[in-house]
Structure 1
């Protein structure tokens, strides 16, 4: 027969190429017509060679897999056995024992090998194909083996139908999936009840050869390591044949999945154990969401945040209507009173005296406080009439005592916060955007799904983006940050108009209105959205700070704003504040890089944390009227001696002392926790410190406000209650932990979960929604919480 002659000629060529035949030596060649599902137990030596001839019928509408399984019965052979499978369009060769290499080029022999033959597409409706299995060796003693070729009935996967199988390093498995009509995207899910051995799932185009070994599975296609869960979203446009292979390979070692590294050299028992790395898995291909779900997700996201714009517009209209109605009522009341001459005279005298007092107060304030912005070295107060040391060390301070500097100077000082953060945002965001675009490009080109830590069970691609839903859900930060800026701008313009018409309340009443920090807060919220979106383009170990940097800034700016409300003259400058925030971000990076189980780092950080707390406490207690110099220790000892030992007097500023004692207890406890537990997520630990201090100061502010006889208006109270509830729900979804870059990519995928909202958003997306709303509400609280003081004179408003 012609095909047998061709087989003999091919055999001669392969023998010469592989160096199997010695010069002048003629071997015995045995060819057998073989059948499927039959065990062939044979012996091969250097003197003979066996060829097994198979034939099978393939159909264009039905694909059946063919699997070759070999078991080496005598493993003491001095040379391996070579198996060569020759097909019409491909050649597959492997040796037994199969030697696979692990980390540091360590070798692992496997004596039981199973390989699936690739199935190239056929144009004919039905075709009979032949393939041959050649068995040869250079061992003169001979080697016993068992060969079995079988059909894989479930080679083609069905949509939404689970299929179970077993794989090992020497017995990889792969299956075919064909896109159904009308389906453009599917999600391939591979699951196992066993975390280890570590495995790899890969999506490859229909071609020969199929890369299905540990040392070549990453050559083409998309791939990811997995322990218990793996999921890859596959789009039809990436596979011209409208079909693909799902390849599952068990790795020879577990380090890639976070498992232990074996000692080397391996003992004989460990080598046997290395060959028993079988893993039970199941695979299921399910259809992904369609275009309608994308549209619904985007409309839902936009609808939520546009509703806040509409609600704000409604509140503005109601407030304007209330003001017009109040003005009309006042006008009618004054016209009725004008009938009485005595009442008119009284009103005129009162108005003249009030205006006179207002103008005198403004003139005195400006005369006392015209200066440059460098308040620390050259104070703007006139020391002849009032020394700042005397004012700031009074037992009971009022806002008028700490709001004596010229408004123009302070406005410039606090506007620097906005311009600085705007400059920081530009220089920070541009390289971030460039970097994450590069990350996404690398993922798309290499197919390495371990680069980015997505929630793969709810990652919806759009264009080049792998997880569009995680990016879209950050839109709330940007939209609500912009809305807050518009609200602040409206208040700023209203305040300027009031000052221009010399309104008494604007000049002498209420908390001094400085909006620079509010502008900075709104900008920081918008940047948080932008940088969080950039982080979620490819979340991983190296770009975590994109998502946290502006969180630190928001927490710091909120604390500064709280302090500025009652201490406008002595609040920190923008340069000092941003320098401190830069130091926090610097420690955040150091903590992630060096902080894991590094006792020396935690000791240094805890000492710095405690010292910073003490210095800040001293600054707040003495209102900045102290100096850090060589005599500081002597002064501390003197104060302890005079106030605690000699006469044992209580603290002069009890309220401040209570706040600072509680703050030190909280911060020292957090420092002790970090030193003892050494949490892996240092960035979140540092953020927790900032949030705890902010909440403590906010609670103190509210308590002191109520204790001082002040009240909270309805709008501010609603904002406080609403924000508290939203923060509670937001934190619940935040702690769900769908992925974590503190672990390996395979371990991170164990936390992946399905979408829970509109089949489009996951738990972390809901955290984005709720946290952006909660931050916006928190900003509104800071903006409105002192509205009740707008008609109270500043010399009657307590400082705390």
Structure 2
């Protein structure tokens, strides 16, 4: 009733048209309270001069306001259903007195917008920044009529008794509706945010909104909001609804039509009051809690463009391309298997021909025997090899029946600790291992059944680790993706937003799909190893001399573990790319450490099958590496104490491992180790001036120590932010060093590399080179803020679907598969060489 009487009195006094737009509700009550209770000491009955002016667009009004008067500016404009025009309100307070605060209230048909000038915006630690110039875009509610005249009113009031001068201007916004593939430039500041409308054209279901600037700072925020009032366009409320992300030079958000029922949305750009969110400097802390800080000039020139995203055909092409690449490896493997079986069939055909013609060969090796790698061995070679063995080493000849005991015996009762099945293994192993030139036969004396079971533990352990590691990882990344979708906070995940194609609830499906290669090629490697394992077991069952007495002892447990680790790398890398950030980066690297460790163990096992590390020891060491990786990511950034501790542990671990490798396990770590070291140095180096007994091993270990000590010094001095990658670089450098040493020593020992292994080595080296090139493109980095990371974002480069990092996934999975094949085939040339002629290095 009070409100109705107030309007009647205003209408009788001729102060304006009848308020046909007023409806009982919150907006009217709020306006009444502001105009009647917000000035003149707060008394309801106090007289206050209220002046209403019919105002026009694009006219600047210079007025003065005090607590005794209030000015209302009445505007009207025609709104069309088929055309949307923006309305921009700009206000300048000319007085420098910050106590003279003016309140502006904009009353529209379905919205009320209010703000004060000077506008006080808060930053970090509640620091206050005043702005005397404010510009706001008025919300435009949709209309159902073809054409409609809408009224809105701007009320200006203050509680200050002193007169305050201000300027007010209302204008129409050109290009308020964004056009597809058309760039639009504008200027924004913390007190003058901007937003524009975009309507989905027919046939377009997904678009990418790109906002760019040549200026790194000031930091800004881009937001995608539904068409509704009010529009949240200030630094303190822009994150309330919709999707948003901080930006410096680049920002991009993929928007889908299904998320906006009105088939349109607002693109809101807000400049932040401070730059800390974008990695900028931290301003000084105010001395007093109520102290106001001069914000300076924080205007930023930006441009926005909306481009259509890819359609379903591109998704299908991308998936077919990915599957086609990796299925081609299956096809190639199948063709090679067919060729190999054809060769085996030819050998059988020749043998059968001789049998039926009465010309039985003197030895089944006259025409070659098909081993698991297709190698052949002549009878003369076997005779020469056996004779040479007897002459050089004097080993007693063992019958095939005793050596090739039945493989059908159960292994269930064999324990891993029951290694030494020969009676003299404990008494003469130190004598054997101290020989200056060792052969594989010297370190392949343990029972094959026990060793086979020992190395199978590697596979079963990593399979168990994979299950217990992957399940919580999957649950966590699903939670991350859900949080991103619900809150709209695009700063949680570090995508390449210019090439992030959503599918369902996943924000970057292409980064997940490209990890398929690790899984498919890991499975293919397991099938290849299984085939070799079956062939080798069949050869043992028929007491094949090559399988029993020749070549590197074949134990496939580590190969199975490597294939499983490659598959898990693909799964966990896909999980990491669901929402990549610094808290889950270890998901992407944990099995990389395992792959590097398993490859080094396999290289060592080839020549040292009896003394290789057990699965429990190996995985415990790898667990320690992953533990340090997590500590480094969390505490390593700029922490001097952590880097000192890690460098000391790194150097000590290198020395301990070097001692273990040099003496082949013939040493003890106890209280007397220092005394024995001093004694050895005195007797061997000082008193006798003798050089190292094992020159080759010493060369490898000296080079390894130089590399590792250099890496430790680099980490201590530089303290790289990406500790996980630094730790992975240490593992890869050691693996490459050992692999190069193995190849050099293999060639130096008179061995050769077969054609298949040589092709794998060259092919893998080339693929690794290209893969590392794409890896170092750096499309995003969680070492920086999300806004700084987006500066590295780039468009897709392959099929409009895959980016540089996806190509890294493709190439690195192929390169890892090729590296595994190198380890599997590099010693195939020794399958016809007696083990007492194969040197250990």
Using the TM superposition, give the Cα deviation of residue 278 of structure 1 relative to its aligned residue in structure 2, in angstroms.
0.9
How far apart, in 1, do the equivalents of 2:301 and 2:500 lie? Answer: 26
Distance 1:318 1:40 in 2: 90
Compared CA separation, residues 255 and 349, structure 1 to 2 (3 A): closer
Task: Tell me how far apart the structure 2 counterparts of residues 334 and 761 of structure 1 sit (CA, whole Å).
Answer: 49
Instruction: Return the alpha-carbon distance in structure 2 between the equivalents of residues 750 and 339 of structure 1.
Output: 66
CA contact (8 A) 1:77 1:142 kept: no
Which has the larger displacement, 474-483 or 263-272? 263-272
CA distance 1:299–1:92, shift in 2 (3 Å): same
8 Å CA contact 1:224–1:449 kept in 2: the answer is: yes
Counterpart among 46, 61, 82 of residue 40 in structure 1: 61
Indicate conservation of the 8 Å contact 2:439/2:839, yes or no.
yes
More deviation, 97-106/482-491: 97-106
1:368 and 1:380 in contact (8 A); partners too: no
> 1:84, 1:91 within 8 Å by CA — same for their partners in 2?
yes
Q: Secondary structure at the match of 2:228?
A: coil
Query: 1:361: Cα distance to partner?
Result: 5.9
Instruction: Provide closer, same or farther for how the CA distance between residues 254 and 267 of structure 1 changes in structure 2, counting only shifts above 3 A.
Output: farther
CA pair 298-184 structure 1, distance change in 2 beyond 3 A: same
Closer, same or farther in 2 for the Cα pair 1:182/1:529, shift >3 Å? same
Give secondary structure in 2 for the equivalent of 1:40: strand
Distance 1:497 1:214, change over 3 A: same
Deviating more after overlay: 690-699 vs 122-131: 122-131
Residues 266-665 of structure 1 correspond to what in structure 2 (within 5 A)?
273-322=294-343, 357-359=398-400, 362=403, 379-383=420-424, 387-665=428-706
CA distance in 1, matches of 2:284, 2:374: 92
User: Cα 1:351–1:337, aligned 2, differ >3 Å: closer, same or farther?
Assistant: farther
Tell me how far 1:358 sits from its aligned partner.
Answer: 4.2
Whether the aligned pair in 1 keeps the contact of 2:118 and 2:133 (CA below 8 Å) is yes
CA distance in 1, matches of 2:167, 2:281: 34
Instruction: Describe the shift of the 1:784–1:337 C-alpha distance in structure 2 as closer, same or farther (beyond 3 A).
Output: closer
Q: Does the aligned pair in 1 maintain the 2:416–2:450 contact within 8 Å?
A: no
Tell me: CA distance 1:435–1:268, structure 2 relative to 1, closer, same or farther (3 Å).
Answer: closer
1:798 positional shift: 0.3
CA separation in 2, counterparts of 1:591 and 1:553?
A: 18
Distance 1:144 1:37 in 2: 19
Q: CA deviation at 1:762?
A: 0.3
User: 1-side partners of 2:340 and 2:233: how far apart?
Assistant: 69
After superposition, the C-alpha distances for 1:296-316 in whole angstroms (9 at most, x for unaligned) are: 000000000000000000110
Instruction: Note if contact 1:338-1:344 (Cα within 8 Å) is conserved in structure 2.
Output: no
Identify the range of structure 1 (519-528 vs 257-266) with the bigger mean alpha-carbon deviation.
257-266
Quickly say closer, same or farther: Cα 1:448–1:342, change in 2 above 3 A. closer
Q: Distance in 2 between matches of 1:347 and 1:261?
A: 79
**Cα pair 1:716 1:784 within 8 Å, conserved:** yes
**Contact 2:420-2:426 at 8 Å conserved across structures:** no
* Contact 1:256 1:744 (8 Å CA) reproduced: yes
CA deviation after TM superposition for structure 1 residue 267, in Å: 10
**Residue equivalent to 1:99:** 120
Paired residue secondary structure (2:778): coil
The alignment partner of 2:88 has SS state of strand
Deviation at 1:374, TM superposition (A): 6.9
Cα RMSD, aligned residues only: 4.3
More displaced, 9-18 or 405-414? 9-18
- In the alignment, the residues of structure 2 paired with residue 645 and residue 73 of structure 1 have an alpha-carbon distance, to the nearest angstrom, of 89
CA contact (8 A) 1:365 1:405 kept: no
Name the CA shift for 1:512/1:749 in 2 (closer, same or farther; >3 Å): same
Q: Check the 8 A contact 1:371/1:409 in 2, yes or no.
A: no
Aligned mate of 1:226, from 240, 247, 261: 247
Preserved CA contact (<8 Å) 1:202 1:247:
yes
Deviation larger for 541-550 or 383-392: 383-392
> How big is the shift at 1:16?
2.9
- Deviation, 1:106, is 1.4
CA distance in 1, matches of 2:381, 2:282: 94
Between 1:339-348 and 1:358-367, the stretch displaced more is 339-348
Q: CA deviation at 1:381?
A: 3.6
- Choose which of 46, 50, 64 in structure 1 pairs with 2:85: 64
Provide Cα deviations, 1:88-138, integer angstroms capped at 9, x if missing partner. Answer: 111111110111111111111111000000111111111111100000001
Would the aligned equivalents of 2:407 and 2:541 in 1 still touch at CA under 8 Å? no
Query: Cα distance 1:332–1:210, how it changes in 2: closer, same or farther (>3 A)?
Result: closer
Q: TM-score, structure 2 length as denominator?
A: 0.89
Superposed displacement of residue 158, structure 1: 0.5
Pairwise CA distance, 1:380 = 3.5
Give how far 1:22 is off.
2.9
C-alpha separation in 2, matches of 1:112 and 1:339: 96
Distance 1:345 1:237 in 2: 79
User: Which deviations, in whole Å up to 9, do the C-alpha atoms of 1:144-163 show, x marking residues without a partner?
Assistant: 00000000011000001111
How far 1:8 moved relative to its partner? 12
154 and 402 in structure 1: CA distance in 2 versus 1, 3 angstrom threshold: same
Q: 1:597 Cα shift?
A: 1.1
- Describe the shift of the 1:19–1:594 C-alpha distance in structure 2 as closer, same or farther (beyond 3 A): farther
SS at match of 2:425: coil
> How far off is 1:568 after superposition?
0.3
Provide Cα deviations, 1:49-106, integer angstroms capped at 9, x if missing partner.
Answer: 0000101111111101001000000121534111010111111111101111111111
Verify the 8 A CA contact 2:179 2:306 in the aligned structure 1: yes
Structure 1 residues 415, 48: closer, same or farther in 2, change over 3 A? same
**Native 8 Å contact 1:476 1:768 kept in 2:** yes
Deviation string for 1:677-711 (max 9, x for gaps)?
00110000000000000000000000000000100
Question: Is contact 1:43–1:142 with CA below 8 Å preserved after alignment?
Answer: yes
Q: Is the 1:372–1:409 Cα contact (8 Å) retained in structure 2?
A: no
SS in 2 for 1:369: coil
Q: Is the 8 A contact 1:368 1:382 kept in 2?
A: no
Structure-1-length-normalised TM-score = 0.93
Separation in structure 2 between the aligned mates of residue 343 and residue 264 of structure 1, nearest angstrom: 85
Alpha-carbon offset, residue 15 of structure 1: 2.8
Residue 277 of structure 2 corresponds to which residue in structure 1? 256
Change beyond 3 A, Cα 1:232–1:59 = same
Change (3 A) 1:527 1:385: closer
Q: Is the 8 A contact 1:381 1:388 kept in 2?
A: no
Question: 1:377: Cα distance to partner?
Answer: 9.1
Give the distance between the partners of 2:652 and 2:410, measured in 1 at CA: 34
Write the distance in 2 (CA, Å) between the matches of 1:524 and 1:158: 49
For residues 95 and 454 of structure 1, the distance between their equivalents in structure 2, rounded to whole angstroms, comes to 38
Maintained 8 Å contact 1:366/1:405: no
Q: CA deviation at 1:18?
A: 7.7
Distance 2:444 2:286 in 1: 75
Could you tell me whether the CA contact under 8 Å between 1:719 and 1:777 is conserved in 2? yes
Check the 8 A contact 1:368/1:381 in 2, yes or no: no
Aligned match of 1:202:
223
Q: After TM superposition, give the deviation of residue 42 of structure 1 in Å.
A: 0.2
> What stretches of structure 1 of length at least 5 have no aligned partner?
none
Q: 1:390 to 1:66 in 2, by over 3 A?
A: same
Change (3 A) 1:77 1:520: closer
CA displacement 1:23-55 (0-9 Å, x = unmatched) = 442111111110001100000001100000101
Please tell me whether the aligned partners of residues 369 and 382 of structure 1 are also in contact (alpha carbons under 8 angstroms): no
CA contact (8 A) 1:719 1:780 kept: yes
Per the alignment, do residues 469 and 110 of structure 1 end up closer, same or farther by CA in structure 2, a change over 3 Å counting? Answer: same
Which runs of 5 or more structure 2 residues have no equivalent in the other structure? 1-20, 344-367
Provide the aligned length of Structure 1 versus Structure 2.
793
**Partners of 2:403 and 2:473 in 1: how far apart?**
48
